[in-house]
Structure 1
Amino acid sequence: MEHEPEFEKTRKNTHKRNKLMHLLISFTQPLQSFFKTIWKGASYGALFMTMLLIFSIGFDFHTGLGQIMDVILFLLIAVVSTLLTVKIGTWFIEHFKRLPSLLIASIGVSLAITIYTLDQFRQLENILPLSYLLIAVGIILGAMFGYPLSKGIKKPMSMIMLLFGVLATSAFSYWLFTPGLMNDRLSINVEPLSPVSDNPSEYGSFDVTTYTYGSGKDKQRPEFGEQVDIQTMSVNASSMIGEWSKEREWFWGFKDTNVPLNGRVWVPKGKGSFPLVLIVHGNHKMEDFSDEGYNYLGELLASRGFLTVSVDENFFNSSWSGGLAGDINGRAWLLLKHIEEMEKLSSQKDNPLFNKVNMDQIALIGHSRGGQAAILAAKFNDLDRYPNNGNMTFDFHYNIESVIALAPTDYQTLSDRKIEVDDVNYLLLQGSYDSDLSEFEGDRQYNGIDLTGRKEAMKAALYIDRANHGQFNTTWGENDTYFPFTLLLNKEPLLKGTEQRQIARTYVAGFLEATLHQNESYQPMFEDYRYALEWLPDTTYISKYEDPSYHIYSTFEEDVDVTTATSPYITIEANSLLQWYEGELEFRRDKERGTHGVFLKWDHSYSKNGTFKLNFKKALQDPFAYTMNSSLTFTAANLSDPSDQQPVDFTITASSDNGASASVKLSDVMQLQGVLPIQHTKTKYFEEGRYGEPTEPVLQTFNIPMQRFLEANNAFNPKKMNALTFEFNASEKGKVFIDQIGVNQGGLTKKGLPS
């Protein structure tokens, strides 16, 4: 057989490759033509998305020049800066391009500006995916509209592209501007208990007069400027806060060395002095004044006999000129300076507050950072020197009876130590849909309140499903972040603003009635929220409570031995559980919560006999001994899977040394609520990075009267109790966290209320 010459084989192979190349080119020419047509539209789409982002910020950005000037300024910034940056970017990549340079520059500049803008506002921690999404949407929409504009609208492909462009734009706009989606919620019926007092959210018997006090020189607000009713002095706050910028000085017209004392006052008409209540806002845009957002509380409280002040601290808030370092300390200190000023005004005959203030009864209410400032003010009030600078002396020592915190922060310490206060009445309100403070930080504050028993005091917390951060303040409203980032929030599940403020009205007024007016008929609503349900909107509530009649013998803070309790006379055992361990309860994003307890998990497919048992080696002694009128108390949180919203149930069995035992099913006293899945944003894609887990464990206080055990078995003797067993036989599966096991010597039954 003759072999084919080598050069002939090479010639044939080359011919085949050329034919294949020509064939590929013929197939790809329409595609190349298509991309050449749409790239300009895609380029301008990316640029338009970037300009739109910058321009939209101008609608909620206050320079002090007025809203029209702000919008015009940001329009100029959006157009000029974006186009200028694109031109610069185009010049740099001209020699390296293969794709059209405008497209490369548009994408690069849009990404850089978008990432920088989102990072400055720190609204979402995972900003890169959001940046990529915005630019991708701009490119796609621009390409869809760019093709028909370049090729002519009558071509079939142009009509298809235009149709898809309109549909995609409509879908994206709908997604942005709709409130979001409602989370599935298992409807769990909780029967209200009969109220034992009148509705505290209703107006009282006092007519109300309003005043403002301030420097009389306020540059931004006439009510604290030339129209002020009572003129006050300014104070030097420079040692309490960080650097006061020139921009801040320009906006307000004063420095940190002469900060004004401004306040809105609601005064009950009538003779005699009235308890003093100060309300302080938190961090918001300083140009969007926050102090008037609590008018609804001021009017209500004054009508019920509390002289109420909404304190102005807007000049400590964040702004386009930056924030202030150490502002919590400044806010707390200024709050005490307002008390000092009210004491002076009440002693001066030439003003309408003369003899109106009862300085022996003072309460502080704070929202957000103001909530932390309120408890810090109570701490500063007891000190003679400033912990961060011992050269600065304090001389306050007022009788601050109560502190109320609305969705408070809890990130600041004193000399690296947690803020702790003894024997102050404390109320905490927090919403599950708080998209600003998504962790229940106030729970750490609650744990830092120590009730020593030296005087009567109580602390209570109410966790409110579907309440957000801002609606406690009418100025802040439903937006827990700034525009346009608020468009990403899932606001559909939220309570109405009037509903959320109805809860605040009820609990704030009721708490002050109980602690300042000493009206004990309001105390039960804090120990058991069901006494207030008739006055509250329909949602899920979880409450926690403690007073000096609570004596805890197992806090789980003592050691790592799961068989020991706080009392050396108690041993612990557990049987047939999937999990049994002690540890710290965490927030949604693994932050420390400051409380340890026991984690218990069971599944009847593994065993139906799971138990957790406390054995008393000797009879409990006073004040830990149970009596006929005392109650078993403990706190518990449902840690079950988020997909299972059913309440978890179990049985508690008490045994006495005469061999008798009695059992009470938890749900017969109060339900342990199911888990509450939360979705803060409209897409779960951003949830985990910004907000962490889809649920957050919240502790509920349970009180089971000894009378319930006696009804189950009258041979049982509470005074001779020798064992307490949690039997997980009522729910097929579940996981719970249990803490603070002890005895409640007061209890609702002792107050003559139904058990």
Structure 2
Amino acid sequence: MLNQKSVMKKRKSSTATFVSGVWPLVQCVVVVGLLSAIALMSGCDDPHDHQDNPHARPQEGGRIVPRPDVPQDPKALSTIIIVPPLLNCANSVTVKGFVPGALVRIYSDGTKIAEKVGNDPEGETFQVSSPLATGKNITATQEFDGVESLPSVQEPVQDVNEVYPAGIPKPNFPFLYLYNCGIATYVNNLPPGGDLRVFEQASITDPKNLVGSVNGVAEGQSIGIHPSFKTDHLVSAESQICTDVATSDIQKVMPEPASLPDPTADPIYEAATFVACHSLVNGAKVTIERSGTTIAVFGAPASHVRVLGVTVSAGDVLDITQELCGVKSNTTHVTVQPCSALPPPVLIGPRAGDVVAQLSNVVAGSRVRIYSGTEEIADGGGSTIMYTRPLIDHETLIVIQSFGACISSGYQVVVGSGLQDPGVAGPCGRVKSWEYGHGGDPDRRTTDVSSYFSSPGFCVNVPMNAVPLHAVVRYPEGPGPFPLVIIVHGNHHANDPSYRGYDYLLEQLASQCMIGVSVEEDFLNLCDQNNVAGEMDARGIVLLRHLQLWREWNRTPGHPFYSKVDMNSVGLSGHSRGGEAIVVAALLNKTLHINTDPPVGPTSHNFDFGIKSLYAIAPVDGQFDHGAITLTNADYYVMHGSHDGDVYDFGGQRLYNRAYPVTNTTNHFKGFVFVHGANHGQWNTGWGTCCENTVGPSPLISAADQQQIGKTYMSAFFLAGLKGWKPYRHFLSGEASFASVPPGVTRITQYQDPEKIFVNHYQEDYDPTTGSLMGVENWRTGSFPNYLVYSFSDDDRPHFLWGETRGLIAGWNEERSMITMALKNGGGVDFKYLAMHVGQTHEDPTDLNTPGVDKDFSVQLEFEEGAGPEVAVSSYGTLSYPLITYYKMKSVQQTIRIPFEDLRISPQVKTADVRAIKIKFNRQSRGNIALDEVQFSN
């Protein structure tokens, strides 16, 4: 975890924003949402008896069942959720998770400041009677059928300057063109609760004219425009809260399109009141009719809009058209489906202790209820709702959704084992193929990377000022918008098309409702033994140029991918040199631009994409000319093989260690999986083997097994990061297992949750008595031949460590040996786990560890009331002896996550009540381990 520069190595072949807005033109409530078309996932009738890790809980998924015949319980009305942050001077509060049509009340320290019927549970913004004040606590309730819920969790009002110490952000028109005659648009990057104004001017020297305003906005806000936009006029947005004002970059209004795409809509069901429309042109006038009668007219503030209209009946036909400057689309006819067709929502991986439900397949505007047996434990709406109590392990839940008397079937899932397998075909099962930028593509684009790299291999005949933007694509059917994942290969022979080697990953991602793209960068690769060097920033820039293309296509009416891409949910994946290139791209996405590059045109740096997640496959580290990168702005995961004979130094572990230094706070998670028997090349179906004849005696796993592992981990990672489905992190951390992972393959995982507090991370100094949390005191008792804080960059004797962090080396030789970490407090916040990175070290010659024998020790917490249970680490993970290869030994630590409920002395105590952590070496008489990052975590 040290933020230090890594050694540069050159090798021959190292390869849900929720907003609402109302304006005079609109005859309905319009809410912008980024809606994924998610088909229902169904599980198996019988649980899998296969378990790839004895400490990982097998996941069974869920299945469709008849809806429960249980009377409705008015007391089960869910508490609603306040969307943070709340800022002083704010004129509004955004809430979600309520029953559509419920009466929502908002309170400041118990005084009511807002009361209004809520319509869209995905998120609705309510004006308050007086501006919020710093230090006040805001709560909210919902009332439905005469019953009022309990108050929400308190959300404190924060000072604007504390939330935005560098000033409030600039407003932004996110990835949208502004068109002539446009009567609406969408703006984000807003301080919640502030005010928004949109201005238009004929030229930069002309005065600005106010064409739209909203008081009390969400972070992203739809806004009506009057008079409408005019071609070539300049538009800017201005946000204000308190006295702080921020202005957007200027955007020029474009001429209206020559033709408009036909609108589309999600399936609409009997008794629904919402219509989810897609493929709308920003600013267009949209009309919805039923039997010749207009039921909604509005200005589309984006390409995907949720419209509240009248109640519909089965068999009704809705006619949807859009118009801009007299140019009309064709009419789309949507038939309302009967109640019998209404599917249930899918509850995503519920776990013991959860108080919030995450759901997919929720139909716009439906009411959602969740049952445990005959007990109703949630009643709300939208994709995030609160339970009325924490979940209990192994209980069976059934979730339904309804419109009035129209009720869906049920989706049944068992708490603790309800995740769908990410390594099999997902709910978007019909996958389509596309290729762009090939030699026969009439729209082929090139880009200039010569300012970054100008010395390709002798066999490359592509000029560096015109390299092709060429890729193959797999994508799901449906309107989207879908998250976008771009995969890039590493260094291989330039005449061998490496980009084709990830089709199996693209297919899997597309089946999981994401767009998968594999880009060609063969022109940056080697020729025979003639290595290429210094090209890493060019590799990253090419990725960003591809993202510029996708942004353009996504906002160009008439393009096949118009409005289908969620440019705020972008993932990058790279193999070998591509694994470092994705981190470079994430850096260049925000900074390190070359000043001589023009501000507009094909080499411009108008990047700032919503890159959320980075997945590195056996990456190199240290080949970027500007030095080692410390990642700070995306989720990060590494997949590496023990038998990697090319990038043998596990460079991804150094990237992992540097990401989010321990002194930084972050909203991102990180992790890695170290796969025994996997090599470098088999992650790509065209690379195979190269150097693994030197890495015995343990055998290579098969290419099929290696690629199946890759599919499952990559899919789970992007479901967790890009779709926000947090339960998949439990697989990435090693706590859950899936049948799709080949049995018998040892995998070592590390995982770091963004919600944590370190007790000891060993970065302060080399004194093992120094604690990381204020007031921590460390001491040892018993016999320790080895006991020191040590740099984990010792890639040879005595410990064979390959990271870029410091930790504790603890070697004991008698069973009464113990490490005590005394605490004055456990951080003041309640956490779910005690976690640590720990593992055996390889010894040559053997001393305290025995090859082939697992290590074990005990952990115990002490409280004021006394000692809690003593648990064995082996109950939560295996500390196996490092895999021996002839090439390079690696001592890799496993993250052990022990649920706090297994350690506490009574159900009432919290982690803040812990007074000591005791690591007792009382299960084996001798051993040597590397220990790091002892923490309380979620």
1:359 to 561, 564, 567: 567
Q: Does 1:213 align with 2:436?
A: yes
Distance in 2 between the 1:737 and 1:372 partners? 27
Contact 2:52/2:743 (<8 A) preserved: no
Which residue number in structure 2 is paired with residue 369 of structure 1? 577
**Normalization by structure 1: what TM-score?**
0.64
Q: CA deviation at 1:650?
A: 0.7
Q: Deviations over 1:481-513 (max 9, x none)?
A: 4xxxx7666597011101000001111111111
Q: Does 1:464 align with 2:675?
A: yes
Distance in 2 between the 1:351 and 1:270 partners? 14
Alignment of 1:310-321 (within 5 A): 310-320=518-528
Residues 614/393 of structure 1: CA separation in 2 closer, same or farther (3 Å cut): farther
Q: Does 1:266 align with 2:474?
A: yes
Residues 197/714 of structure 1: CA separation in 2 closer, same or farther (3 Å cut): closer
Residues 582/546 of structure 1: CA separation in 2 closer, same or farther (3 Å cut): same
Q: CA deviation at 1:676?
A: 1.3
Q: CA deviation at 1:539?
A: 1.1
Residues 258/491 of structure 1: CA separation in 2 closer, same or farther (3 Å cut): farther
Q: CA deviation at 1:721?
A: 2.2
Which residue number in structure 1 is paired with residue 451 of structure 2? 239
Q: CA deviation at 1:270?
A: 1.7
**What's the C-alpha RMSD, in Å, of the aligned pairs?**
3.0
Q: Deviations over 1:357-397 (max 9, x none)?
A: 22111100100110110111111111162499999973311
Distance in 2 between the 1:608 and 1:461 partners? 32
Residues matched between the structures, number: 521
Q: Does 1:630 align with 2:832?
A: yes
2:827 to 583, 606, 621: 621
Distance in 2 between the 1:442 and 1:390 partners? 34
Q: Report the more deviating stretch, 349-358 or 199-208.
A: 349-358
Q: CA deviation at 1:193?
A: 1.1
Residues 467/549 of structure 1: CA separation in 2 closer, same or farther (3 Å cut): same
Q: Does 1:527 align with 2:736?
A: no
Partner of 1:337, secondary structure, is helix
Which residue number in structure 2 is paired with residue 508 of structure 1? 714
Which residue number in structure 1 is paired with residue 535 of structure 2? 327
2:934 to 733, 737, 741: 741
Residues 722/387 of structure 1: CA separation in 2 closer, same or farther (3 Å cut): farther
Distance in 2 between the 1:310 and 1:507 partners? 17
Which residue number in structure 1 is paired with residue 893 of structure 2? 699
Distance in 2 between the 1:346 and 1:123 partners? 36
Residues 587/408 of structure 1: CA separation in 2 closer, same or farther (3 Å cut): farther
Residues 449/651 of structure 1: CA separation in 2 closer, same or farther (3 Å cut): same
Gaps of 5+ in 1: 1-119, 125-186, 215-223, 680-686, 747-755
Letter in 2 for 1:212: E
Alignment of 1:366-445 (within 5 A): 366-383=574-591, 385-386=593-594, 394-413=605-624, 415-416=626-627, 418-445=628-655
Distance in 2 between the 1:264 and 1:440 partners? 29
Q: CA deviation at 1:559?
A: 1.1
Higher helix share: 1
Which residue number in structure 2 is paired with residue 27 of structure 1? none
Letter in 1 for 2:903: F
Contact 1:499/1:537 (<8 A) preserved: no
Q: CA deviation at 1:471?
A: 0.6
Q: CA deviation at 1:714?
A: 7.8
Which residue number in structure 1 is paired with residue 249 of structure 2? none
Distance in 2 between the 1:388 and 1:558 partners? 41
Which residue number in structure 1 is paired with residue 25 of structure 2? none
2:858 to 651, 676, 689: 651
Q: CA deviation at 1:350?
A: 5.1
Q: CA deviation at 1:261?
A: 0.7
Q: CA deviation at 1:453?
A: 8.7
Residues 731/202 of structure 1: CA separation in 2 closer, same or farther (3 Å cut): same
Distance in 2 between the 1:295 and 1:740 partners? 37
Residues 717/198 of structure 1: CA separation in 2 closer, same or farther (3 Å cut): closer
Task: Give the greater-gyration-radius structure (CA).
Answer: 1
Residues 323/535 of structure 1: CA separation in 2 closer, same or farther (3 Å cut): closer
Q: CA deviation at 1:519?
A: 2.5
Partner of 1:256, secondary structure, is coil
Q: Deviations over 1:691-736 (max 9, x none)?
A: 4xxx21112111112221236x789875432222211111122100
Contact 2:816/2:921 (<8 A) preserved: yes
Contact 2:424/2:740 (<8 A) preserved: no
Distance in 2 between the 1:615 and 1:318 partners? 55
Letter in 2 for 1:201: G
Distance in 2 between the 1:736 and 1:663 partners? 20
1:563 to 758, 765, 769: 769
Letter in 2 for 1:225: G
Q: Deviations over 1:308-350 (max 9, x none)?
A: 1100000100113833331111101111111011112233345
1:309 to 508, 514, 517: 517
Distance in 1 between the 2:870 and 2:496 partners? 57
Q: Does 1:285 align with 2:496?
A: no
Contact 1:468/1:480 (<8 A) preserved: no
Residues 206/563 of structure 1: CA separation in 2 closer, same or farther (3 Å cut): same
Q: CA deviation at 1:260?
A: 1.0
Distance in 1 between the 2:913 and 2:885 partners? 45
Contact 2:861/2:903 (<8 A) preserved: yes
Which residue number in structure 2 is paired with residue 131 of structure 1? none
Identity of aligned residues (%): 27
Contact 2:482/2:515 (<8 A) preserved: yes
Q: CA deviation at 1:414?
A: 5.3
Partner of 2:450, secondary structure, is coil
Q: Deviations over 1:273-306 (max 9, x none)?
A: 2211100000011111100000101112112211
Residues 431/602 of structure 1: CA separation in 2 closer, same or farther (3 Å cut): same
Q: Deviations over 1:4-54 (max 9, x none)?
A: xxxxxxxxxxxxxxxxxxxxxxxxxxxxxxxxxxxxxxxxxxxxxxxxxxx
Distance in 2 between the 1:327 and 1:523 partners? 33
Q: Report the more deviating stretch, 539-548 or 526-535.
A: 526-535
Distance in 2 between the 1:532 and 1:282 partners? 29
Which residue number in structure 2 is paired with residue 72 of structure 1? none
Letter in 2 for 1:377: A
